[in-house]
Structure 1
Amino acid sequence: MYYIRPIAIEDLDTLHQIAVESGPGFTSLPENTELLQKKIERSTQALARDLDRPGAQSYLFVLVDSETDQVVGTTGIEASVGLDAPWYHYRLGTVVHASRELDIHNRFNTLYLCNDYTGCSEVCTLYLKPDHRHSQNGSLLSKSRFLFMAEHPQRFSERVIAEMRGYSDEHGRSPFWEGLGRKFFAMDYSEADYLTGSGNKVFIAELMPKYTIYLHLLPEEAQQVIGRVHTNTEPAKRMLENEGFRFENYVDIFDAGPTITAPLEKIRAIRESRYAKVRLIDKAEETPDHIHFLLSNTQANGFRCCLSSLYERQGIAELSREYADLLQVKNNDTIRLVELKGR
């Protein structure tokens, strides 16, 4: 069985291993032990505080294999982006150049540097080790964040974004970066990505072009990957789209990966989640009435979430003792639950 819990300082070595495995383009986890330790500390401090509004807090959780007690994945939330450093995107737009005398009317697709998503909450830092990409663990990692947000909405903004990792080849080469970014930064994509992940974003404002970029002036290979996700990111993108996230013509400034967004209250798992009282049973048996649910307790600092098939009716959820132990709940305690997939 697997369950979600908040990250702890004891997970630092594993988090660094995940940062190495995830490779270029996984901006939120730089391969730097000191910076990763600070991320863990930020999350621990945010969960320990009783907050009534979103700020520059960061929440980081891990997926644990209960049989081995090993951390096999990570997932996170930023409460409000762009408050302590500028948050950049490219906005896709259209410019028309026309001449009545010459009877010419041209439409050009463009990119414009902006900070439009400043203040939004962000779901981020999703990574699952390859050997554990089964049993719907990816869904548990991704959607557990929504149960936490549903239980603690005051900690988050009204709009939520997700930056999808853009396309790069098997060697970590980004066609968009090669076609645009390198011309202004004179460095490899992996280096720029590392600097951003480490919090050093000042160089973006200093070096990025401030004016409209016409797409037809970029190499064809760069144009083709705008809004395209990395192969490994396609399942995560589909999952978020099924939860109500949509592409609104904003892309990452380095790899042109799409940023998708949804209002907090309209995210499917948040909107449909509800409370139930725990009725402990010795062992759950699969019946046609059992549905796969995401389950969580109602704590912040002691947050737990898991995936289970159970029977729920009239606000009562029959929960086996082993799953109650994972959630750290007992008989008659309140839990939050939601169907794994939409109704």
Structure 2
Amino acid sequence: MLVIRPIRETDFDALMLCAEESGHGFTSLPVDETLIKGRIDHSLDSFARNAQAPGMEGYLMVAEDTETGEVAGTTGIEAAIGLDNPFYSYHISKIVHHSRRLDVHNVVEVLTFGNNYTGATEICTLFLRPEFRQGLNGKLLSKCRFLMLAQFPEKFSDVIFAEMRGVSDEDGNSPFWAWLKEHFFSIDFTLADYLTGTGQKGFIADLMPKLPIYVSLLSEEAREVIGQVHEKTRPALRLLEKEGFTCRGYVDIFDAGPTVECLRQNIDSIRRSFTARVKIAEHSSTQDYLICNSDFENFRATATKVGVDEERNEVLISKEVAEALFVQDGDTVRLVSV
């Protein structure tokens, strides 16, 4: 059984392994010991802070195999991005060039540089190690964040978004970045990606073109990948789309991967989630649920079969599940069917 829990200092080696296995383009988890330790320390401080409004908190969690103690993956939430370091993106929009005298009417797409997601909550750092990609593990790692958002709404923004990894090859070369590099940056995508992941974003403001870029002026290879996701990211995108996330024209400034967003109250798993009291008992239910406790600092979530007694507002769970979630009879948990 996999259990989601807040990251600990002792998870450093496991998180480094996730960073190494995640590959190029995974900006939120750079292969850098100092940065990884910094993210762990920041998460420990954030969970202990008990924030009553979204701020610069970053909550990093891991999925632990209860049988072996092995870390299967990681997932995270940034409460409000762009408050300490700027968060840049491109917005795709259309403008019209029209001349009545010449009877010419052209509609063209442009990319506009901006900070439109400042203050929004980002769900991020989702990575499940290949050997654990089975059953409900992927859904648990992604959707546990929605249970947290539903249970503790005061800690997060009304707008929830996620950056999807854009198209790049096995060596980390991005067609979109290749065009930007040629005209503006003169550094490789992997270096730009690394600098951003380590918080060194000053070069973006220094070198990024401030005026809108006409999409038609980009290379054909760059145009083709705008708004497209990396093949390894497609399952994560499909899951978010089923939750109600959509792209409103924002893409990453490096690989042009899409940014998807949804209002917190409109996320499907949040709308369908409910709370119930725990009753530790055997049951014969075959319905799978994602379930979490109501203790933020000691947050726990898992995927399991439970029995739901709607009349008594009780959820029947096994002793093993109760121990994994740190709950007892009468405690409140939040659930959503999967």
Class of the TM-score when normalised by the shorter of the 2 chains: over 0.9
Deviation at 1:184, TM superposition (A): 1.2
Q: Hey, what does 2:5 align to over in structure 1? A: 5
Alignment of 1:252 onto 2:248: no
Distance between the aligned counterparts of 2:332 and 2:118, measured in 1? 35
Distance between the aligned counterparts of 1:174 and 1:52, measured in 2? 40
Deviation at 1:244, TM superposition (A): 1.0
Alignment of 1:169 onto 2:165: no
Alignment of 1:325 onto 2:323: yes
Question: CA offsets per residue over residues 145-195 of structure 1, 9 Å max, x none?
Answer: 111111111110110010000011233211111122443111110100000
Q: Hey, what does 1:297 align to over in structure 2? A: 293
Question: CA offsets per residue over residues 74-108 of structure 1, 9 Å max, x none?
Answer: 00000000000111110001121122222211111
Contact 1:182 1:188 in 2 (8 A): no
- Look up the SS of the partner of 1:69 in the other structure: coil
- Look up the SS of the partner of 1:72 in the other structure: strand
Distance between the aligned counterparts of 1:119 and 1:182, measured in 2? 32
Alignment of 1:334 onto 2:332: yes
Partner of residue 311 from structure 1, selected from 303, 307, 313? 307
Q: Hey, what does 2:204 align to over in structure 1? A: 204
Alignment of 1:215 onto 2:215: yes
AA aligned opposite 1:179: W
Q: Which runs of 5+ in 1 are unaligned?
A: none
Q: Which runs of 5+ in 2 are unaligned?
A: none
Q: Hey, what does 1:264 align to over in structure 2? A: 264
Q: Between 254-263 and 43-52, report the one with greater CA deviation.
A: 43-52
Distance between the aligned counterparts of 1:70 and 1:311, measured in 2? 28
Contact 1:89 1:114 in 2 (8 A): yes
TM-score, normalised by the number of residues in structure 1: 0.96
Contact 2:181 2:188 in 1 (8 A): no
Deviation at 1:63, TM superposition (A): 0.5
- Look up the SS of the partner of 1:299 in the other structure: coil
Contact 1:62 1:71 in 2 (8 A): yes
TM-score, normalised by the number of residues in structure 2: 0.97
The total of aligned residue pairs comes to 336
Distance between the aligned counterparts of 1:184 and 1:309, measured in 2? 54
- Look up the SS of the partner of 2:13 in the other structure: helix
Q: Hey, what does 1:33 align to over in structure 2? A: 33
Distance between the aligned counterparts of 1:207 and 1:77, measured in 2? 29
CA RMSD in angstroms comes to: 1.0
Q: Hey, what does 1:188 align to over in structure 2? A: 188
Listed as ranges, the matches of 1:277-296 within 5 Å are 277-281=277-281, 283-285=282-284, 287=285, 290-296=286-292
AA aligned opposite 2:293: N
Q: Between 244-253 and 168-177, report the one with greater CA deviation.
A: 168-177
Listed as ranges, the matches of 1:70-149 within 5 Å are 70-149=70-149
- Look up the SS of the partner of 1:80 in the other structure: coil
Distance between the aligned counterparts of 1:216 and 1:71, measured in 2? 45
Q: Hey, what does 2:43 align to over in structure 1? A: 43
Deviation at 1:249, TM superposition (A): 0.4
Please identify runs of 4+ aligned residues in structure 1 that moved more than 6 A: none
Q: Between 229-238 and 326-335, report the one with greater CA deviation.
A: 326-335
